[in-house]
Amino acid sequence: MRHLPFLILLFLFSNKSLAQENEADTTFINNNDSLKSLDWLADSAYGVFRTERFNSMRSFFHSYATYKTMIDTSMAGDQTEYTKFVIYNTRWSYLRLQFAKMIKKIHKQGIAWADTKLDTVYYKKGKDQGVNYAYIHWVIKVKDKKKYTLSAVALQIKDKWYIMDELKYEGPVPEPKTAKGKKRPTLKIPDNIKIQN
């Protein structure tokens, strides 16, 4: 019984440390100028997916200070500091859940990251209520054969892009179908074009 206060104190400290680990890092202010490029964001995020380490996504998630400047210009600016912080961490936790689901679906397909390479990245950009957004689609190739698509939504806050939501595995890229008995058309290259390997 005399060790009970010590055990309670130890439990509270370990709980607090675990909670802080699961929070978005509010002290981290992302001054990375590379985030001005959507191409850099997409390429670097694919590198993080390959590691399967969610905490590395902090580089692509806005800081709490950036979040506050974003919402202070909206109706949400009237919220208390505590409410803003809770919403901010909820967004981070939701992205963590999406990341985990995406990785789980990739494992379920039997895909090993070591066998993949980034084949193509394409964007669908738009603007809503003065905020620029982009749907990022990563097409990955497994063992130079089958292709799969991953996607996410990125927002531009000030002049930098951040991955915010809808991070998911979309499935295999459909192969073009051919009629029975017919060969797939081959690409015809004119004689006057030179191809270099």
Written as one string, the DSSP assignment of the chain is: -TTHHHHHHHHHHHHHHHHHHHS--TT-----GGGG-HHHHHHHHHHHHHHT-GGGGGGGS--HHHHHHHHTTSGGGGS-HHHHHHHHHHHHHHHHHHHHHHHHHHHHTT--GGGEEEEEEEEEEEEETTEEEEEEEEEEEETTTEEEEEEEEEEEETTEEEEEEEEEEEEEPPPPP--TT-PPPPPP--TT-----
- Report the pLDDT value the prediction gives residue 175, as an integer from 0 to 100: 72
Does the model's pTM come out above 0.85? no
- Report the pLDDT value the prediction gives residue 13, as an integer from 0 to 100: 44
Give the start-to-end residue ranges of the domains of the chain: 16-172
- Write the pLDDT tens digit of every residue in 115-163: 999 999 999 999 988 889 999 999 999 998 899 999 999 999 888 999 9
Give Cα 101 to chain centroid, integer Å. 12
- Report the pLDDT value the prediction gives residue 179, as an integer from 0 to 100: 56
The Cα–Cα gap between 170 and 161 comes to 22
With a cut of 50, list the residues of the chain below it in pLDDT. Answer: 1, 3-23, 25-29, 187-197
- Report the pLDDT value the prediction gives residue 178, as an integer from 0 to 100: 57
- At position 20, the amino acid (one-letter code) is Q
- Report the pLDDT value the prediction gives residue 114, as an integer from 0 to 100: 92
- Report the pLDDT value the prediction gives residue 187, as an integer from 0 to 100: 41
> Do residues 171 and 160 make contact, with C-beta atoms less than 8 angstroms apart?
no
- Report the pLDDT value the prediction gives residue 6, as an integer from 0 to 100: 44
- Report the pLDDT value the prediction gives residue 80, as an integer from 0 to 100: 79
